[in-house]
Amino acid sequence: MQPTGSGELHIGNYLGALKNWVSLSREGTYDALFCVVDAHAATTEYRAAEMPTRIFGTALSYMAAGLDPAQCTLFVQSDVPQHMELAWYLSTVTPMGDLHRMTQFKEKSDEHKQNVNAGLFTYPILMAADILLYRATVVPVGNDQVQHLELSREICRKFNARFGDTFPEPKPKLTPTPRIMGLDGKRKMSKSLGNAIDLFDPPKVVEKKLKGAFTDELKLQLGDPGRPEVCNIFTLHTALTPEGEVKQIDADCRSGALGCGNCKKRLTETMNAELAPIQARAAELRAEPQRVLGALEAGAERARSIATRTMADVREAMGMNVRAPKS
Of the residues 19, 171, 173, 188, only one is catalytic, namely: 188
Q: What residue number has its CB nearest to ligand ADP?
A: 16
Minimum distance between the CB of residue 167 and ligand ADP, rounded to whole angstroms?
20
Measured distance CA(12)–CA(34) in Å, rounded: 17
Nearer to ligand ADP, 144 or 313 (CB): 144
Minimum distance between the CB of residue 180 and ligand ADP, rounded to whole angstroms?
4
Largest Cα span, the chain: 80
Measured distance CA(30)–CA(191) in Å, rounded: 30
Amino acid at 244: G
Nearer to ligand ADP, 184 or 313 (CB): 184
Nearer to ligand ADP, 189 or 240 (CB): 189
* 188 tagged catalytic: yes
Nearer to ligand ADP, 197 or 263 (CB): 197
Q: Rounded to 10 degrees, what is the CA torsion of 237, 240, 243, 245?
A: -60
- How many CA atoms are closer than 13 Å to the CA of 285, on its beta-carbon side? 25
Contact residues toward ligand ADP (CB under 6 A) are: 1-2, 4, 12-13, 16-17, 141-142, 144-145, 178-180, 188-191
The 3-state DSSP class for residue 75 equals: strand
Minimum distance between the CB of residue 90 and ligand ADP, rounded to whole angstroms?
20
Report CA-CA distances (Å) from 139 to 67, 148, 171, 316: 16, 11, 6, 26
* 108 tagged catalytic: yes
Minimum distance between the CB of residue 123 and ligand ADP, rounded to whole angstroms?
10
* 191 tagged catalytic: yes
Of the residues 19, 106, 108, 265, only one is catalytic, namely: 108
Q: Which residues on neighbouring strands pair with residue 188, listed in sequence order?
A: 181
The residues annotated as belonging to the active site are: 108, 188, 191
